[in-house]
Amino acid sequence: MKIESIISLSIPDIKVIKFRRFCDHRGYFTEHYRVSDFAAQEEPAFFNTGSFVQTNESYSKKRTIRGLHFQWNPYMGKLVRTVMGHMVDLALDIRKSSPSFGKIIAYDMLSTNAQEYGEWIWVPPGFAHGNYFVQDTIIEYYCTGQHSPDCEAGISPLANDIDWSLCEAKFRKQLDSIFSNNPLITDKDRNGYTVTDWANREEANQFVYKVNM
């Protein structure tokens, strides 16, 4: 695996890993994950979350909105990539006492056959994760915890107390446009908690801000 760069987003715990595709007249080849190459990086706080124990693939039609999901016992960090299509990934800080608590970030993740690179986004425990799709899209994500339906919850992407100030305005406008045009979203996701309602629940104490969490 050839990792070209690892960058921190506006909430530094969220990382984007760019890796090389080797392209020629036939198409491309890429090694999109190798544990030793990840472990060799110089950011130990990024890689101390344990091994990946579950891999998921998801196909979403254009105008689909998913999230914002999280779980505890076990905690679940997610390493997410667009296989083909166009996803905008969302991560909302739900760590109590975090300086960015209640703030959301959005990262544009388009993937086409012509690109000479691919990207992962790392969303660690302590963040509610979701995405929306502007094309029919396939994504894949590696998880550090197995799915635990008795210890999961979600914050509605419609919640009016989400702080979008760290995002470019175009992402909020794009999401609002999807919402106004027959979005594909489950009732469970649409009717999730607000940030305030979640913070007032006892289970919210499962996520407390720590340096290098």
Structure tokens given for 48: 């101390």
Active site residue 25: no
The total of other beta-carbon atoms located within 10 Å of residue 211's CB is 6
Q: Which of 69, 107, 129, 141 is catalytic?
A: 69
Residues, the chain: 213
Q: Which of 59, 142, 193, 209 is catalytic?
A: 142
From residue 104, give the alpha-carbon distance in Å to each of 51, 101, 163, 165, 212.
Answer: 26, 9, 6, 8, 19
Active site residue 69: yes
From residue 72, give the alpha-carbon distance in Å to each of 17, 75, 96, 148, 155.
Answer: 25, 4, 14, 8, 14
* Residues forming beta bridges with residue 86, ordered by sequence position: 110
Any idea which residues carry the catalytic annotation? 69, 142
